[in-house]
Amino acid sequence: MDLPLADVPEPDVSLEPVGFMVAGEGGDRIHFLDWDGPPASAPGVVAIHGLGQTAWIWAPVARRLGGPHGVRRFVAMDLRGHGLSDAPTEDGAYGLGALASDVVAVTDGSGLLDGAAHGIVLAGHGFGAIVAARAAVLLDDRCAGIVLVDGGWESIESATGMEADEFLRGIDEPPEVMRSMSAFLADRRRFDPASWDADQERAARATVVETHAGRVVPSTRPHATEASVRAMFTYGPAAVLAEVHAPVMALIADDDATGSRRRALEFASAARVAAGVGPVASRAFFDGGPLGHNLMRYRPREVAAAIMDTGV
């Protein structure tokens, strides 16, 4: 399907968000960045990052949609255990229900629904797409639509062929990448030098902490990473998406040779049709250029267009 790329504004490089805290599930503090935007003439956006990332990963999209001259009020949050949000240690603190409740808290605390007749659009990337789907169920008719950015329609176990323990063993960065901040940033820049800029550096820096010895370690707390991964493996996409009454858009960065990702999307879409809530609209990017998971970096215009096209 075609996306309205011509309607997407150019990025406002002068735009700077304001950070806020809101009380989430269990009273834990959840941090979000508010990129502001026009009055509620169209649904505002709550954007949710993926595993090990922070709200800053959404900057390339926020600069196109938010701000005083933008088209949507844009809020991006830090999931619990990530970024500047609290990292509780209690059992069950990172269940999908708790994470989804935090999204609702940010929606309410940001004032996105104040005077809005359209509800909000949830945009989630990877693990954040899973959280967005669960949050859409909680928000019900207050959710005008969700955009699943390269995730949220697959069973992680089926997609990876791994169990949670094996997945966890494979997510550590190579030691040479973590030996210094400069080595880490150079590695991130190499993913796609053409898209590397100040926002990408800030997003990368937010995911690590520099030690006194000069090495870097992930900023996401180890217990939060483990608990989030285990929550991710409990997700049943067809069942959850069938409960979402709002329109669903899926953006696919890449697929394997067998087309397994598209088949998983078709299965989830069929479950929605059977439940009477409509299919998943989808767009795959296979037209050259970098096909990395981080579509906000590699295809910010397309991600912005999908958000603009959802919930209106």
Q: Is residue 212 domain-resident?
A: no
Indicate if the alpha-carbon torsion angle 222, 203, 189, 45 is positive or negative: positive
| Residue found under tokens 């309205």 | 4
The tokens describing 97, both together, are: 């229900």
| CATH number, residue 83 | 3.40.50.1820
Number of structural domains the chain divides into = 1
Q: Is residue 67 domain-resident?
A: yes
Q: What is the pLDDT of residue 5?
A: 87
For residue 256, is pLDDT > 90?
A: no
CA 86 to chain centre: 18
Using alpha carbons only, what angle is made at residue 9 by residues 7 and 11, rounded to the nearest 5 degrees? 155
Q: What is the pLDDT of residue 33?
A: 98
User: Which residues lie across from 209 on neighbouring strands?
Assistant: 217
Q: What is the pLDDT of residue 287?
A: 58
Total Cβ atoms within 10 A of residue 115: 8
Radius of gyration of the chain (CA): 18
- Distance (Å, rounded) from C-alpha 35 to C-alpha 120? 15
Indicate if the alpha-carbon torsion angle 289, 45, 233, 277 is positive or negative: negative
Of 154 and 6, which is predicted with more confidence?
154
Total Cβ atoms within 10 A of residue 250: 25
Of 39 and 206, which is predicted with more confidence?
206
Q: What is the pLDDT of residue 290?
A: 53
CA 71 to chain centre: 20
- Distance (Å, rounded) from C-alpha 238 to C-alpha 265? 9
For 192-210, how does the pLDDT look when each residue is reduced to its tens digit (9 = 90+)?
A: 999 999 999 999 999 999 9
Instruction: Tell me the average pLDDT across 17-28.
Output: 94
Q: Is residue 194 domain-resident?
A: no
Q: Work out whether strand 74-77 and strand 29-34 pair parallel, antiparallel, or are unpaired.
A: antiparallel
| Residue found under tokens 């800029």 | 197
Confidence band, pLDDT 50/70/90 cuts, at residue 45: very high
Q: Is residue 199 domain-resident?
A: no
Q: Is residue 181 domain-resident?
A: no
For residue 60, is pLDDT > 80?
A: yes
For 67-126, how does the pLDDT look when each residue is reduced to its tens digit (9 = 90+)?
A: 988 899 999 999 999 999 999 999 899 999 999 999 999 999 999 988 666 799 999 999
Q: What is the pLDDT of residue 288?
A: 53
Q: Is residue 187 domain-resident?
A: no
Confidence band, pLDDT 50/70/90 cuts, at residue 1: low
DSSP assignments along 226-281, one per residue: HHHHHHHTT--HHHHHTT--S-EEEEE----TT-HHHHHHHHHHHHHHHTTS-PEE
49 touches 131 (CB < 8 A): no
For 266-296, how does the pLDDT look when each residue is reduced to its tens digit (9 = 90+)?
A: 999 999 999 999 999 988 876 555 568 999 9
Total Cβ atoms within 10 A of residue 213: 8
Confidence band, pLDDT 50/70/90 cuts, at residue 263: very high
Q: What is the pLDDT of residue 291?
A: 62
Q: Is residue 10 domain-resident?
A: yes
Q: What is the pLDDT of residue 37?
A: 86
Q: Which domain holds residue 166?
A: 5-172+222-308
Q: Work out whether strand 216-218 and strand 208-210 pair parallel, antiparallel, or are unpaired.
A: antiparallel
CA 136 to chain centre: 13
The tokens describing 303, both together, are: 């991600």
45 touches 56 (CB < 8 A): no
For 127-186, how does the pLDDT look when each residue is reduced to its tens digit (9 = 90+)?
A: 999 999 999 999 999 999 999 999 999 999 999 999 999 999 999 999 999 999 999 999
Q: Is residue 190 domain-resident?
A: no
Q: Work out whether strand 143-149 and strand 120-125 pair parallel, antiparallel, or are unpaired.
A: parallel
285 touches 299 (CB < 8 A): yes
Instruction: Tell me the average pLDDT across 222-244.
Output: 97
- Distance (Å, rounded) from C-alpha 183 to C-alpha 195? 18
For residue 30, is pLDDT > 90?
A: yes
48-84: b (≥16 Cβ within 10 Å) or e: bbbbbbbbbbbbbbbbbbbbeebbbbbbbbbbbbbbb
